[in-house]
Amino acid sequence: MDCRSLVIAPEATSRLSADAVLLLVVGESLPPAVDAVIGQAVAEAQAQGDLVLKPGKQAYLGRVPGLKAPRLAVVVAKDGSPKALKAAAVSGLALLKGLAIKHLAVQIAGAGEATAAQAEALVQAVTDAVYLYRATKPSAPAAPVLAKLTLLVGSKAEAATATIGLVRGLAIAEGVTLARELANLPGNHCTPSVLAAQARKLGRSHGLRVEVLERRHCEALGMGSFLSVAQGSAEPPKFIVMHYQGAAKTQAPLVLVGKGITFDTGGISLKTAGEMDEMKFDMGGAASVFGTLRAIAELKPKLNLVAVVPATENMPGGRAVKPGDVVKSLSGQTIEILNTDAEGRLILCDALTYAERFKPAAVVDIATLTGACMIALGGVRSGLFSPDDELAAALLAAGESALDPCWRMPTDDEYDEALKSNFADMANVGPRAGGAITAAKFLQRFTAKLRWAHLDIAGTAWKSGAAKGGTGRPVALLTHWLLAQAK
C-alpha cells in the first residue's frame, strides 16, 4: 500500500482527487479551519438528524456538492489518542466497505497536529480492513482495491512527523500480514518444511542469513527435548535460525524465539475434538517472529537480531513420546513428560539454551503456550513473564505504544515448587492452578545465563467464531520494543 502525508490547507480538501474522504472529528464541533464545503455538509447532516457530534457517532454522507471526492464519511472519535483514532478509523472504513475505493484520504480535525503514533494507528486500521485470506479459498470475494492512503496535514513539519509514523506503520502492517498468512494456513499447507522454505524466501528478499538445522543436526547437538515432541510425526522437524545484522558484529544481538508447533493434537495426551482445527494456530509465536523480522528488515534499525524457530508437529503414534517418559534437554537437564500436550515448553527450552551461543543482550520467547493464560487475560492482553524489571518495563511500554498491550504476571520462586519430579530434574507440568505461571517457571529454568522474558500469546494470537483467524500479534509490540533498543 502507498501511504503518504500531503500538506494541504484544510480548507482546500474539497479540491482533492481521492475516491473518498474520511473525516475523523475530535470534539463536539468542527474547528474553523475545516474545508467550508465539508463543514456545510456536516452542518446539514446535523440539522437533519443524520449526524451528532458525540463520541462514537458516524455518518456516510455520500456525494457532497462541491467535494471532488465522490464519497465522504464522518466519524467522531472519543479523543485524540492513537487508540481512539484507530477505533474511529475502523468504524469509518466499515461505512466505506464494499465501495470501489482505491485512494482514501483521511483528515483528523480537532486533535492538533498529527503525531507519528496517530499516523501509525491509521495505517494499522486500514491494512487490517483490507486483509483478506485467499491462499486456500479461491471462492473468496475479490480483494479490496484500496491501494493508497493519504493523511492530510497542514504543514511540512507536521508532514515530516506523520511520515515517520506512516513508514513505521506500513512496515509493521506488512509484518502483521505475513504473520496472519502463516498462521491462517491449514496444518497440511504450513508444515515445518514450509516454514523453513518461508525463512529462506524471507532471507533472499530481505538480505538475511538463514540456517535450517535438520533432525540429524539437532540429534548431534543433543536437543532431546525438542526432538521428543517431533518423534511422533511423519513431518521432519526443522530448527530455523535467521539473522538480521544492522549494527557492528561486535554488538550483542537481541534474540526472539518463536514456538513453531505447526499442528498440535496434544500427542498421546490427545486433545478433545472440539476446536482442534484451531491448533493450526499453535505456531502463532513463530509466525509473529517471522513478521517482526520482516518489519525490522524493512525499517533497517541499527541493531542485530537473531530469530530462532523450533518447528515441528505434535502427533500421536507408535513412536510418539509417552506420559512418564524422561528426556534429556540440550542444557543437560532431564525432564519427566507428564503431559504430552504441554509440548511448547519442550521445544522452547532447547531453543533458549541454543540462544546462549549468541551471547545476546536479551532474549524474548513468544508462544501460544497455555490455556490458563487465555482464562486469565482473555484476548485483550498477552501475558508477560520476566524476572528482569527493566526488560519487563520496556516490553510493557512497547505494547502500549504499539496498541498491542501485554500484562506482567508473577514469577515468584514458590511457583517453581510445582515442577518437582521424583524421576527427573523437573516435570513438564504442575497442577492446573497457576498453569501459565508454572509454564513460565519451567522455561525460566533454562535462562540462567540470559536476560529473558516470555510472552504467552495463547489468547491474542488468533480469534475464534465468525472472525476466526490469526491476528498477527504481537508483531507490533515486538517491533516497537526492538526499535526502542536501537535508540
Instruction: Please state, as a whole number, how many other Cβ atoms lie within 10 Å of the Cβ of residue 70.
Output: 15
| Interacting residues of 61 by C-beta distance below 8 A, sequence separation 6+ | 41, 42, 45, 50, 51, 72, 73, 74
Degrees, nearest 5: CA angle 131-381-125: 30
- 308-336: string of b/e by CB count within 10 Å (b at 16+)? bbbbbbbbbeeebbeeebbbbbbbebbbb
DSSP track, 348-376: HHHHHHHHGGG--SEEEEEE---HHHHHH
CB distance 53 to 24 below 8 Å: no
Strand partners, 106: 22, 151
Whether the bond between 65 and the residue before it is cis, its omega within 30 degrees of 0, is no
Residue 418 and residue 473: Cα distance in Å, rounded?
30
> Which sequence positions are flagged as catalytic?
271, 345
Q: Which single residue is written with the C-alpha cell 519430579?
A: 421
DSSP state of 302: S
Task: Count other Cβ atoms within 10 Å, centred on residue 49.
Answer: 7
Q: Please enumerate in sequence order all residues whose Cβ is within 8 A of that of 70, keeping only pairs 6 or more positions apart, or say none.
A: 19, 20, 63
